[in-house]
């Protein structure tokens, strides 16, 4: 069977022994809010993967953060502290694509082995989450504990704030 996922994501799943269910989705509904509405997932089931970058530090520091769609990443305090920098912000789209080799709307922590991955503890409390498949036409559904099979993963309390 041919995978729907980005090859880098598929390779990481196989290498780490992660159990996922692949979902096909229309590229028109790849972004979180549209995906949830079209496919019936809630914001507590949907996990967003966000690349964060330091500001005014050379070389720049980056981290991947996984938070529920029902929350807001605490980039100004928590992520800044984790990176050990004075300022941090969401990486721009071009940088995200360059560092992850994934499409915006499909970025996932799975397949990113060379950056720290911070997962909000609220993600781990869910029985199942859905996240990007590395492209705009697929998603993966998995138990959050499967993320712990990835390299460089750290579960962080209060990485995000409830909206």
- Tell me how far apart the alpha carbons of residues 109 and 2 are, in angstroms, rounded to a whole number: 21
- Tell me how far apart the alpha carbons of residues 80 and 78 are, in angstroms, rounded to a whole number: 5
Segment 81-122, tens digit of pLDDT? 999 999 999 999 999 999 999 999 999 999 999 999 999 999
Between strands 117-120 and 153-156, the pairing is parallel
Burial of 49 (0-12, 13-18, 19+ CB in 10 A): buried
What percent of the chain has pLDDT above 70? 99
Segment 147-159, tens digit of pLDDT? 999 999 999 999 9
Residues 6+ apart with CB under 8 A from 57: 85, 86
Structural domains of the chain in order of their starting residue, each with its CATH number: 7-148 (3.90.960.10)
Q: Which residue has the tokens 């997932």?
A: 41
> What is the model's pTM?
0.97
pLDDT, averaged across the chain: 97
Task: Output the pLDDT for position 1.
Answer: 55
């Amino acid at each position: 069977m041919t995978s729907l996922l980005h090859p880098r994501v598929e390779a990481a799943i196989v290498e780490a022994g992660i159990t996922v269910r692949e979902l096909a989705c229309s590229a028109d509904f790849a972004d979180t809010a549209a995906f949830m509405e079209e496919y019936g997932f809630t914001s507590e089931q949907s996990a967003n993967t966000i690349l964060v970058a330091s500001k005014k530090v050379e070389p720049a520091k980056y981290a991947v953060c996984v938070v529920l769609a029902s929350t807001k990443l605490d980039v100004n305090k928590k992520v800044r502290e984790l990176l050990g920098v004075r300022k941090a912000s969401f990486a721009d789209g071009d940088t995200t694509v360059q560092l992850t080799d994934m499409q915006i709307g499909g970025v996932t922590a799975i397949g990113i082995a060379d950056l720290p991955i911070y997962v909000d503890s609220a993600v781990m409390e869910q029985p199942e989450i859905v996240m990007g498949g590395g492209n705009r036409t697929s998603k993966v559904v998995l138990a959050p504990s499967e993320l712990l099979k990835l390299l460089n993963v750290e579960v962080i309390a209060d990485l995000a704030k409830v909206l």
